[in-house]
């Protein structure tokens, strides 16, 4: 467990750094994974937690944010796991599209509750091969801060998140378990999974169209 002092120092440094960073970084693209995640987190909260926008608009914004900030193909590969290899290129493309729609619906709903919250960067760790882990908090106006962890890949000057964990729960890992269970129940058929996904997307889009 982090000692409270380290935590205080961490939070203090983060506040100091963000105060220092904002004016200098005005209009400049993120140069570290930490900056990238801070931008992404704040943008997500600002764009999605507005109470005045419609549900459909919220899902649309989430879709855009996912496309811009996350590495869809890498996450899809992980979610399909061992079954990715068995999928045809056409199936992979369709999977990515359906998956992004489902994730947009899932997170748009969850973000509604984040009004008034802020994202606070704590620290980042790099493994030297272009992947960094960024630790932060979603601070709520009342109550405990929620720990958030991003895994970010860097390709040339572009950052893309490949994993997000909130309070220890990883979104892609949960989906991997959920989806592989469906594939197993369909005796390993990717087409079987896609059928279930099409049905789910149709159901979600019926109430809140995002396309």
The answer to whether 169 contacts other proteins (rule: CB under 8 A) is yes
Q: Among residues 78, 77, 75, 53, which one has the least CA distance to residue 66?
A: 75
The span from the CA of 109 to the CA of 96, in Å, is 20
DSSP secondary structure string for all residues of 59-106: HHHHHHHHHHHB-HHHHHHHHHGGGGGGS-HHHHHHHHHHHHHHHHHH
Residue 17 vs 133, nearer CB to other proteins: 133
Using CB atoms within 10 A of its CB, is residue 10 exposed (0-12), middle (13-18) or buried (19+)? middle
The answer to whether 211 contacts other proteins (rule: CB under 8 A) is no
| Cα dihedral 180, 71, 136, 65 sign | negative
Residue 21 vs 108, nearer CB to other proteins: 108
Among the candidate windows 13-21, 32-40, 48-56, 180-188, which touches other proteins by CB under 8 A? 180-188
The answer to whether 6 contacts other proteins (rule: CB under 8 A) is no
Residue 43 vs 84, nearer CB to other proteins: 84
70 forms bridges with which residues in the sheet?
Answer: 161
Instruction: Report 137-166 residues binding other proteins (CB under 8 A).
Output: 144, 147, 149, 151, 153, 162-163, 165
The answer to whether 35 contacts other proteins (rule: CB under 8 A) is no
Least distance to other proteins, CB of residue 184, Å: 6
Is residue 124 classed as helix, strand or coil in its secondary structure? strand
Residue 24 vs 82, nearer CB to other proteins: 82
Which residue of 156, 168, 202, 206 would you call a contact of other proteins, by CB under 8 A? 168
Q: Order the strands of the 118-126 sheet from edge to edge.
A: 118-126, 131-139, 146-155, 158-166, 169-170
The answer to whether 80 contacts other proteins (rule: CB under 8 A) is yes
Which residue of 12, 46, 67, 177 would you call a contact of other proteins, by CB under 8 A? 177
The span from the CA of 45 to the CA of 138, in Å, is 10
Residue ranges that bind other proteins, judged by CB under 8 A: 1-4, 71, 74-75, 77-78, 80-85, 102, 105-106, 109-110, 113, 131, 133, 135, 144, 147, 149, 151, 153, 162-163, 165, 167-170, 172-174, 176-182, 184-185, 188, 193, 196-197, 200, 204
């Amino acid at each position: 467990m982090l000692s409270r002092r380290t935590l205080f120092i961490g939070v203090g440094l983060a506040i100091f750094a963000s105060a220092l960073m904002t004016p200098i970084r005005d209009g400049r693209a993120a140069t570290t994974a930490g900056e990238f995640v801070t931008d992404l987190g704040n943008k997500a909260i600002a764009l999605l937690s507005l109470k005045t926008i419609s549900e459909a608009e919220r899902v649309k914004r989430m879709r855009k944010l996912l496309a811009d900030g996350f590495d869809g193909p890498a996450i899809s590969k992980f979610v399909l796991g061992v079954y990715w290899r068995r999928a045809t290129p056409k199936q992979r493309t369709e999977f990515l599209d359906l998956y992004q729609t489902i994730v947009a619906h899932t997170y748009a709903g969850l973000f509604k509750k984040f009004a008034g919250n802020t994202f606070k960067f704590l620290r980042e760790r790099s493994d030297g091969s272009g992947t960094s882990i960024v630790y932060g908090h979603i601070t709520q106006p009342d109550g405990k801060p929620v720990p958030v962890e991003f895994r970010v890949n860097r390709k040339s000057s572009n950052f893309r998140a490949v994993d997000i964990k909130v309070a220890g729960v990883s979104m892609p890992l949960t989906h991997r378990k959920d989806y592989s269970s469906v594939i197993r129940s369909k005796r390993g058929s990717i087409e079987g999974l896609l059928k279930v996904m099409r049905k789910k997307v149709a159901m979600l889009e019926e109430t809140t169209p995002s396309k």
